[in-house]
Structure 1
Amino acid sequence: MCLMLAVAAAALTVVLVNAFVFSPQHQVKAYFNALEDGDGGTALGLLHATVPDANAALLDGAALKASVDTLANLEIQDPIPTGDNRVDQPVSYTVDGVAHTTTFSLEKTGTTWLFFNQWSFVPSTLPTISVDVVNENEASLNGTRVALPEGKNSFAVFYPGSFEAHYASDYFAAPVVESVLTGPQHAQDARLSLATAATPKLVDDLSGQVNAFLDSCAEQRVLQPSGCPFSAAMDRVQDDTIRWSIEDYPEVKVEPFKGNWVLSPLTGVAKLNVVEIDLFTGASVERELKQSFDFTGRLSVNDGHVTLTPVVEY
């Protein structure tokens, strides 16, 4: 009887150890622990994955940890046998309150000490995510500064993961975009596109330069200010009465165009106050004339400085 009890106890021990220690769930748990620790080497070894020809900035350290920081309510479910000593291992979790599931494929590769099963991830290739940005060559990806040659790049990633990108500088910025990658089959949906645009600071600085240029034009006490977008054709006036002012200053808009930043056409309204002399009677008549004008400008941004060169066509 004692022998039978001992055998039964040993058999139960094998079952329990296989279920909780030498199990597919245990391998998956170890994989997630490595991701949470930012230990890309361990995660890659467990996953038996090949690294594709892509930027590896997200495969280790803080950037890797950030990819799983938003994963919550993680639950490693019961494995589903698929035949040939393989199982599908579902893992459920939430990201920002949205439910997701990732399924890993594992296979039994043998036993340890004759009784305990050995499970390994079926070899695979890591997926990639694509990042592109308008008119820039870098961005922040999961808190890490990354290079985007010619405005784009591909990054090898572990899965599942949450990825966010943005761009910020004094003069140009792109708001945060996010994507959740649940598995390699959804990699094509994980593209992060950054729509860079001019910041309020850039618009303010350019508006100041535009307004200063127009004010300098208005200070010229002539009917046709030199190098300026407005003028008046009148036969005879009292020169000392010429007074230009700007009624409406242009609204500055900066747009991307063929890899550069350009100004949209600048339009405004100038006002001329002058005393005109009638050629026939010699009488002096006060005039107030309003004139719409437009011009463009060449934009140069270097080392944190922006310069606008007005371009006036006659």
Structure 2
Amino acid sequence: MKTPNSTPITATRLALRWTLAAVAVLVLAVAGIMIANRTLFSPAHEVKVLQRHLANGEGAQALGLLKAQVPKGDAVALDGEVLKRTQSGITDFSTDKPQPVQRDGELRTVTAHYKATGVDQQSTFTLRHTGKSWLFFDQWEFEPSTLPTVKIKANTVNEVSVNEQKIPLEAGVSTLPVFYPSVLDASFSTKNFAADTRGVVVTAPAADPVEIALKTEPTKAFISSINSKVKKYLDGCASQQVLMPSGCPFAYNTSARVDSSSIKWDITKYPKIDVSYYNGAWVLSPLTTSASLTLTEQDLRTGAKEKKTVKDTYSFTAQLTTSTSEVSVVPVAGGEQGAQ
């Protein structure tokens, strides 16, 4: 139907409109393909996918994507909750624009920036172009590599805690292969010994392991136990009503006659306990104690009796035998071993 003001649409004009619409759709499609290829099918996207797998604790998927060899060691940090914990300190993850590699036109490097426990860090990944899918979209794969490792060292104990997971030590050492980036924290705490938490940030593969050397310190309970045993030993020495208590550091020499019932030893100062780690064992520094002796002496020539109080300091050593929960203290005085 025609109206007075309408203009007939010719076949040519209709064809032109359809052509322009088709061109517009084609341009949008090409633009969409280009945008998708730069984002969803880019090397940087693969790096972000890898990081998502790590953050979710999906170690198998991450390892398959990364195509990395796993060195020998305890794989506890490569999957599940422990893997998640190694990533909990990684925040604000972003990637730079992929960069070409001069020696190989099919390679690109992608540098990722992030914060590791609040500190700016970065890691660089290398990916290879392996072709196209659906004729338009680039395919990228990580260049094969070997995962980095972390070596944890501690003395005295046979297990430590790594990111809240107990792991065994062999001869005081454990080696853990890890993904990167990752944050590992190690510590331990037992009745007798403890080590404050020490952490490392792993940002790249390396030929040598990253080391966490835990510094073992005796606990207050350990020192208290030694102190109690030494005190018990000295109190036992003081209870002997003799001038030279057996197996003890005390001694008093006199040429006068002494009434044994008048002999009384008192400890006036107990030793300060100082423990250190030396040559693979915990050793106790030489001990010094102060004691007073009250006694009545009778002069052999005149028969006169005199009540005396003698004060002196005495030194001795003690041998320690320790475990994470027990401690044995064997005092050594004048070549004789005292009671434990």
Question: Corresponding residue for 1:308?
Answer: 329
Q: 1:210 aligns with which of 194, 210, 230?
A: 230
Distance 1:131 1:51, change over 3 A: same
The reply to whether residue 95 of structure 1 matches residue 119 of structure 2 is no
Task: Describe the superposition over 1:230-289 as per-residue Cα deviations: whole angstroms up to 9, x where unpaired.
Answer: 111112223222110111111122222332222222221121112222333332223222
Is residue 2:2 matched to residue 1:3? no
Name stretches of at least 5 consecutive residues in structure 2 with no aligned partner: 1-19, 336-340
Structure whose CA Rg is larger: 2
Q: How many residues align?
A: 313
> What is the rounded CA distance, in whole Å, between the counterparts of 1:101 and 1:148 in structure 2?
31
SS in 2 for 1:85: strand
The match for 2:241 among 221, 237, 253 is 221
Unpaired segments of 5 or more residues in structure 1? none
Where in structure 2 are the equivalents of 1:128-139 lying within 5 Å? 128-139=149-160
State the 1:290 CA deviation.
2.0
**Shift, 1:163, TM fit:** 0.9
Q: Residue 136 of structure 1 contacts residue 150 of structure 1 at CA under 8 Å; is this kept in 2?
A: no
TM-score by length of 2: 0.87
CA RMSD of aligned residues (A): 1.7
**C-alpha distance in 1 between matches for 2:325 and 2:197:** 22
Q: Which contiguous aligned blocks of 4+ residues in structure 1 show a shift greater than 4 angstroms?
A: none
Partner secondary structure for residue 292 of structure 1: strand
Residue 53 (structure 2) aligned to one of 23, 26, 34: 34
2:291 is equivalent to residue 251 of structure 1 = no
Which shows bigger deviation, 68-77 or 218-227?
Answer: 68-77
* Aligned partners of 1:181 and 1:187 also within 8 Å: no
1:55 corresponds to 2:55: no
Instruction: Kindly state the Cα deviation for residue 186 of structure 1 after the two structures are TM-superposed.
Output: 8.4
> What is the aligned partner in structure 2 of residue 67 from structure 1?
86
**Deviation of the 1:313 alpha carbon:** 2.5
Residue equivalent to 1:280: 301
1:177 offset after TM fit, Å?
0.8
Q: Match of 1:128, as an amino acid?
A: T
- 1:296 and 2:317 correspond: yes
Corresponding residue of 1:268: 289
Q: What amino acid sits opposite 1:310 in the alignment? A: P
Residues of 1 paired with 2:201 and 2:324: CA distance?
35
Structure 1 pair 303/157, CA: closer, same or farther in 2 (3 Å)?
closer
- TM-score (norm. length: structure 1): 0.94
Q: Percent identity?
A: 36
Partner of 1:197: 217
1:143 maps to which of 159, 164, 168: 164
Mapped pair 1:12 → 2:19:
no
One-letter identity of the residue aligned with 1:49: A
Any idea what the Cα deviations from partners look like across 1:137-194, whole Å, max 9, x if unmatched?
2211111111110001221110011111111101111111111111114865x31001
